[in-house]
Amino acid sequence: MQIPCLCCQRMLNIELVGNAYRSEGQITLNLPGVLCAGGCIDEMLDQVPDPPGLISVYELSCEDASAALLEISLLTSPESAAAFFLNLFPSSADVIRSAAIHLHISGEIDLAYRVLEEYCRGSDNPHGIMLELAGFYGRDGKTKAALCLLEQIPEETTRYHVIKGNVYRQAGEWSKAAECWKKATITDPSDEIAWYCLGHYLMHIKKSHFEAEKHFRCACQIFPEERKLRAYVGDSLFFQGKKDDAYKEYMAAMELEEEDDDFEISLKKMIEACIE
């Protein structure tokens, strides 16, 4: 439900639970009014140090809802969680996409497809939802359905070439996949996934380590803080037999932050291999 902020009158998204209002993890009973967690509560506290019967709440945004579905372990069932956020944001493509992904990875495959299909037309980005649906088809081995759907989507749609490349990869058509990822790095260089996917193809499928080196060096110019990309430059040099140069890249990668313990262990092993 939505309740207006008593100060600025903006509508805030708040869930009603029994006789309690809940927003962003805070609960209060018999709440007579709410204030925005930003400037409004500060303004009120300047005037009344302890305003009776009021609580500051964080507004639940589309971004919050999308992140919750993808990153938080929710206590309720996947279906209930998806329904709750979709009821709040029925036209948000980000929430629709996240709800479908949440359902898909939870094993609710048919329901995930149904969410994408039913909410697509009313979303604020129908082509984006169609693209996500094509990606689902590809991951589930429905290559023909995915490619047919992609024909209905404009190529300039964000992530079009990445998704199409992923569909071809799932079908084992690596060369076509690489062509799509190459287009993606040109049309939208800010998409990290395209750089990783094309780099994987060059390094491990085509086994062209010199091309992989050039590719990952370009990627590092766009994403200078990405440890994995810097380490992959080292890998490409290592497999060319240039251990001294690889060592320098690995050490540079070690200076970058990365919350991935397994990757750090692997990186340290490659450093050891360079000095053996």
Which DSSP string corresponds to 69-131?
A: HHHS--SS-HHHHHHHHHHH-TT-HHHHHHHHHHHHHTT-HHHHHHHHHHHSTTSS-HHHHHH
26 forms beta bridges with 23
Instruction: Characterize 165-190 residue by residue with b for buried, 16 or more Cβ atoms within 10 angstroms of its Cβ, and e for exposed.
Output: bbbbbbbeeeeebbbbbbbbbeeeee
pLDDT band at 151 (very low <50, low <70, confident <90, very high): very high
Give per-residue burial for 23-57: e unless 16+ CB within 10 Å, then b: bbeeeeeebeebbbbeebbeebeeeeeeeeebbbb
Lowest-confidence segment of 92-96, 144-148, 259-263 by average pLDDT: 259-263
- pLDDT given for residue 15 in this prediction: 56
Give phi and psi for 31, each to the nearest 5.
-75, 120
| Of 41, 42, 19, 43, nearest in space to 31 by CA | 19
Cα(177)–Cα(92) distance, integer angstroms: 29
What are the backbone angles phi and psi of residue 62, rounded to the nearest 5°? -60, -40
Q: Mind listing the pLDDT tens digit for each residue in 103-132? A: 999 999 999 999 999 999 999 999 999 999
- Write the pLDDT tens digit of every residue in 173-224: 999 999 999 999 999 999 999 999 999 999 999 999 999 999 999 999 999 9
User: Is 145 exposed, middle or buried, given 0-12, 13-18 or 19+ CB atoms closer than 10 A?
Assistant: middle
pLDDT number for residue 14: 61
Beta bridge partners of 2: 13
Residue 51 — very low, low, confident or very high, per pLDDT cuts 50/70/90? low
The DSSP string of 21-71 is EEETTEEEES--EEEETTHHHHHHHHH-SS-TTEEEE----HHHHHHHHHH
Contact 1, 20 (CB under 8 A): no
Closest CA to 200 of 163, 167, 166: 166
* Confidence class for position 38, pLDDT limits 50, 70, 90: low
Q: What are the distances in angstroms from CA 248 to CA 15, 40, 254?
A: 53, 52, 10
The arithmetic mean of pLDDT across residues 34-48, rounded, is: 60
Q: Which residues contact 53 (CB under 8 A, 6 or more apart)?
A: 31, 32, 33
Helices 143-150, 160-170: inter-axial angle, 10-degree rounding: 160
Mean of the pLDDT values across residues 246-263? 93
